[in-house]
Amino acid sequence: MSRKILLFIFFSLSINLVYGQTGTIRGRITDAIEEGVIGANVVIEGTQIGGSTDIDGNFNIFNVNPGTYNISISYIGYKPKVIEGVVVYSGKITTLNSVLEEDASLLEDIVIEATRETFSEISVISEIRLSQVVAVGVSGEQIAKTQDSDGAAVLKRLPGISLFDERFIMVRGLGERYNAVLLNGALTPSTEVDVKSFSFDVIPSSVIDRMLVLKSGAPSLPGEYAGGIIQIFTKNAPDENFTNISISGGVRLKTTFATLQKYEGGSTDWLGFDDGTRRLPGNFPTNSQLEGNRALGAEAARQLSSTWLPKSFNAAPDFKISLGLGRRFRIGEAKIGNLTSISYGNSRQFLKIKRDRYASFDPNEQRITDFLFDYNDEQSNQTVRIGAIHNWSMTLGNSKIEFRNLFNQLGSTQTTFRQGVNRSNSAEVQNYSLYYENRSIYSGQLAGQHSLGSSSSIDWIAGYSYTNRQEPDFRRIRTQRSIGSEDPFTVPFVVNNLSFQQNGRFFSNLNEHAITFGVNFEKKFRYRGSEDSPIVLKLGTYLEKKNRDFKSRILTLATADPSRSEVNIDFAFDPTNIAPNLFYLFDGTTPDYIYNASNSLNAGYVSINIPFSEKWNLTTGVRVEYNDQRLETEAIELNSNPPSPVRVKNQITSFFPSLNLTFNMSDKMLLRAAYGGSINRPEFRELSPFLYYDFNADFLVQGDPKLKTPKIYNADLRWEYYPTPAETITIGVFYKRFENPIEIAPIDPNSPTPLMQFFNADQANSYGVELEIRKSLGSILPALDNVSLVANASYIYNRVRLPSRFENQVPNRPMMNQSPYLINTGFYYNNKSGKLQASVLYNVFGRRLYYAGDVKANPFDGNYPPAYEMPRNTIDLSLSFGIWSFLELKLGVNDLLNARYRFVQDSNRDGKITDIDDDLISYRRGQLFSTSLKISL
C-alpha cells in the first residue's frame, strides 16, 4: 500500500514539473503615508488575470506567461493608475510597488472595511509558504468537509500526525509528551494526571479557524518540543452577522439500542460533572483518624454508597447540539466583533475487549507455555461534553484588542465487567470496575496588536488557565471461584490491609492554575532596493507561572475476621454487615498520594530575518529559558540517609539557538533548511512517587523524582512546490538526536501485577522522510475538476540506546510510541455551486512500542516482554448537501472498516511480531453512522 502511494505522489509530481515555467508579479500598494491599501484590484489589462491586496497592501499574480504587460490598479477613493511596460520573465518574480493618490471627490461617505482571511484553504497554504519554519496545517474550510467532531480527529489528517487513545496526538511518530500546544498563542495546560499531554478532544471542530503544526523551532516559539508545536486558532470576529443551529445524531453498531451497564451517579451527570453523590463527605474522617480505628472505619464505610455493582440501561443514539452566533457593530470609531459558540454532546460506546498476559515462554520450542490471565471485558462508556467559546475583538485605528474565552466540561463514565481465568491464583474471576471522571478546563486570554507606524509593531498577550480533574469514588471489586467449579462466585477480602484490586475505592482531585504573559516587538529596516523585503528584527519575552495541587485517597473494604476472607457477594456488601468485627474501611493512603508542584518559566528571545536577495532568506536568533520546576510530597525518598521527604527542585537555564534558511528556487518552488535545539521537561506526575492502579491494563504506575531532563537536537530539510495558490507538494527529511529520553517499563518482572515506572534511556536517534500533496485532480483529468487530493506519508527510522540494567531488552529497538511510518489520504469532492461536498479519508500508522520490556536477569525470566500496538487501517466517509441557502444536511461514516485494535506481546523478544506472539489486548470500536442538520437563521 505505502509503495503504491509513493509512486502516485511521484507521478503527480512529475506531471506538475513538466508544466511550462511562468512568472509572477508581486508587490505592495500603499497610499501617500506609506500605509498598505487593503483590497485594491491589480489586473493585467485586457485579461481577467489579477489579484487583490491583503491587509498589508501586498499582492501576488501567479502563472503569468512571459511577456510585457500594462498593469491596472484601482480602488474606491483613489485615482486609478496604469503602469505600462511591466516585463515578466519565465521562472522569475517581477516586483511592482506603487503608490495610489487619493481622489478627494470620491472620499465622502465612503467606508472601506476588510479583514485578513485565515479560514480558507488558500490562506492556510499561503501562511505555510510564507512561514519561516517547517510547517503543515489544516483550514477551517477543509475541516468543514469532514465529519471530524473535535481537534484530535482533525489533526490526524496532517502529515506525520497520528492519533493515540482517540484524543492524544503523535507528531512524527513521537509520543504526546514531545509536543507543545498553543491555543491562540498561549501555552495550554496538561489535561491529564499521568502523562504530559493535551487532550485535543476538548476542542470542538466547529470553533476552529485553523490548526498549524510547526515542526522546526524559532526563537519566538517555546523551547520545549521535539515532535512539533501545535497552534490552535479559534474563530474570532465574523465577517458578517450570523446565527446557526446544528443538531446531529449517531448510531454506533453493537452499541446503540443495546443493553449497557452504567455507574449510577447523581442528578448532574448529564451535564458532565458529579453533583457530590460520589465525593467524600465533608466530615469524612482523615487518614490519621482512621489508622488503627476499625470502629471509625465501619462508621466511615456507612457514610459512603453501598452500591458496588453497575445498573443496566438501553443505549440511546449519540446526540449533539450546538449554537453559533456572530455579530459585528460599531461604538464610535471602534469596530466590535463577537463570536459565541455553545455545544452539548452525549455519546456512548460498548466494547468487548480480549485481554491476555503470558506467564512463561519456552525459547527452545518457541512457544508460550502458560498464561498469567485470560480475560474477556465488557466495557460500557458514556461521555458528556459541554463546550463554549466566547470571543470579542475591537479594532480602533492601528490597534486591535481581543478577549478570548474557552471552556470545556467533560464527564465520562466507564463500567467494566471482567470474566475469565487468573492462573496466578488458580481462579475463575468476575470483576467489576465503576469509574467516573469529570474535567473542567478554562482558558482566557486578553491580547493586543498595535501598529507603531509603517515599520514597527508590538503585540502582547496575558492569559489565565484553570484545569480541574476529579476521579470521585473509583470502585472496583473482584469475585472468584476455583477453575472448573460450579460454585457461586465469592468476594475475597484482605484482612486489616490495603488492596489495589479487591473492594477498592479511590478518590482524587487535581487543580492547576497557570498565569502567562508575553510581549513581542517587531521592527522593519528598509534599505535601498529592499522596500518589499525589509530586514525584520524581533524581540520578546514570555513568563509563565503554574501551580498544581493533587490530593488522593485509596480505601479498601477490609475484614477484621480472617474466617470471612471469602464471602457471598450479597453478604459482603450488605450495609448491616458493616461493623468493626466484620467489614470496615481500611485507609491505605500514604504521603505520596498527595503532592504540590509548581513551575516558573522565564524566557526571552531575539531573532532577525534577513532577505539577502529575492532568492535567499535567513531567520536566526536565540531563545533563553530559565525554568524552575518543583514538587513536594511527604513521601520518604528511597535510600535517603537520614530519611527525608521527596523534594524535587530542577532549576535549569537553557539556550536554544535556531536557524531557518529559505531558498526561493522560483515563484512556485522553494527549499527550506532548519536547525534548532529543544528540551523535554518531565511532567509533575512523572516526578511524583505516587502509586496508581490502572484497572484496565492491570498495572501499577509510579513516577521517579530523579528523572533527568531530556535534550533534543533537531534538523530539517524540505523542498516545497506550489503549482497554484491552493495546491502544494512537499518532500522533507529530518534528523533528531535525543539525550536522556523518558520512557516507561515494568520494573518488577515476577509480580502478577507489574509496577510500571518512568526512566531515562541514554540516547536515541531518529531519521525521517515526509511527503505531502494537495492537488486538484482536474489538472490531471478534466473530468475530475471538482475532486482534490490531500495525501501525505512519513517514514521514520528510530533507535534507542538503553541503560545497562535494560541490556536484556529487545536490542536495537525504537523509542516508545515511535511509529516507523504514517499514511493519510483524503479525496474531496466539491461541486461548482458548493451545495454538494463529499470526502473519503484513509489513515494508517506503523507498529509502535506500547511499553518497553521488563528489567530482568535472564531474557525469559520476566512475565512482561515488550508490547506493540499494531497497524490499523481506518476509512471515514462524509457527504454534505446544501438543501436550501439556510439548511445543510451532512451524513458520515466513521471507521468504516472497523479494524481491530491490537496490542501484541513480543513473546520471544526478537523485535518481530509473528504467529507465536500473543495478543495482549484486542477489540473493535464499531462503525459510527452519523447525520447532522445545520440551520442558518
pLDDT of residue 183: 80
Residue 757's closest CA among 691, 805, 809? Answer: 691
pLDDT of residue 162: 66
Q: Which amino acid is at 777?
A: L
pLDDT of residue 596: 94
Query: pLDDT (tens digit, 9 = 90+) per residue, 610-631?
Result: 988 888 999 999 999 999 999 9
Peptide bond before residue 310 is cis, with ω within 30 degrees of 0: no
| pLDDT band per the 50, 70, 90 thresholds, residue 103 | low
Once rounded to an integer, what is the mean pLDDT over residues 507-517?
Answer: 93
| pLDDT band per the 50, 70, 90 thresholds, residue 572 | confident
Separation between Cα atoms, residue 170 and residue 799, nearest integer Å: 17
For 395, residues 6+ apart whose C-beta sits below 8 A from its C-beta are 334, 335
Query: pLDDT (tens digit, 9 = 90+) per residue, 806-817?
Result: 655 566 788 888
pLDDT of residue 17: 36
Share of the chain above pLDDT 90, in %: 38
pLDDT of residue 190: 64
Residue 14's SS3 state is helix
| pLDDT band per the 50, 70, 90 thresholds, residue 11 | very low
For 577, residues 6+ apart whose C-beta sits below 8 A from its C-beta are 571, 583
- Cell numbers for 112, please give them: 472601506
Residue 224's SS3 state is strand
- The residue ranking higher by pLDDT, 655 or 332, is 655
Contact indicator for 156, 404 with CB cutoff of 8 Å: no
Contact indicator for 685, 704 with CB cutoff of 8 Å: no
Contact indicator for 318, 251 with CB cutoff of 8 Å: yes
- Cell numbers for 183, please give them: 491555543
pLDDT of residue 95: 77
* Residue 602 burial by Cβ neighbours in a 10 Å radius (0-12, 13-18, 19+): middle
- Cell numbers for 460, please give them: 502582547
CA distances from 80 to 41, 75, 102, 109 (A): 10, 7, 9, 19
pLDDT of residue 781: 81
Once rounded to an integer, what is the mean pLDDT over residues 702-724?
Answer: 91
DSSP E strands, 483-530: 490-492, 504-525
Torsion angle in degrees (nearest 10) through CA of 192, 148, 124, 795: 70
For 877, residues 6+ apart whose C-beta sits below 8 A from its C-beta are 147, 838, 839, 840, 841, 892, 893, 896
Query: pLDDT (tens digit, 9 = 90+) per residue, 214-235?
Result: 888 889 988 888 888 888 887 7
Query: pLDDT (tens digit, 9 = 90+) per residue, 765-774?
Result: 999 999 988 8
Residue ranges of the alpha helices (H) in 727-793? none
| pLDDT band per the 50, 70, 90 thresholds, residue 15 | very low
Separation between Cα atoms, residue 410 and residue 545, nearest integer Å: 25
Q: For the residues of 720-744, what is the DSSP string, one character each?
A: EE-SSTT-EEEEEEEEEEEES-EEE
Q: Is the pLDDT of residue 140 over 60?
A: yes
Residue 249's closest CA among 131, 346, 142, 175? Answer: 346
Residue 209's closest CA among 181, 240, 242, 235? Answer: 235
Q: Which of 12-21, 493-502, 640-649, 785-794 has the lowest mean pLDDT?
A: 12-21
pLDDT of residue 749: 60
- Cell numbers for 843, please give them: 489513515
pLDDT of residue 881: 83
Q: Is the pLDDT of residue 513 over 90?
A: yes
Residue 224's closest CA among 504, 544, 560, 449? Answer: 544
| pLDDT band per the 50, 70, 90 thresholds, residue 862 | low
pLDDT of residue 633: 93
Task: Label the pairing between strands 728-739 and 711-721.
Answer: antiparallel
What Rg do the C-alpha atoms of the chain give, in angstroms? 30
Element (H, E) at 295: helix 294-303
CA distances from 106 to 29, 41, 55, 100, 909 (A): 19, 17, 22, 14, 80
Contact indicator for 98, 74 with CB cutoff of 8 Å: no
Q: 621 in the Ramachandran plot: left (φ > 0), alpha (ψ -120 to 50) or beta?
A: left
Residue 715's closest CA among 691, 742, 745, 736? Answer: 736
Q: Which amino acid is at 892?
A: G
Once rounded to an integer, what is the mean pLDDT over residues 729-758?
Answer: 84
pLDDT of residue 806: 65
Separation between Cα atoms, residue 1 and residue 586, nearest integer Å: 56
CA angle 371, 847, 766 (to 5 degrees): 125
Separation between Cα atoms, residue 225 and residue 711, nearest integer Å: 10
- Cell numbers for 370, please give them: 502458560
Q: Which of 165-169, 329-333, 485-489, 636-640 has the lowest mean pLDDT?
A: 165-169
Residue 697's closest CA among 867, 445, 519? Answer: 867
Separation between Cα atoms, residue 398 and residue 456, nearest integer Å: 11
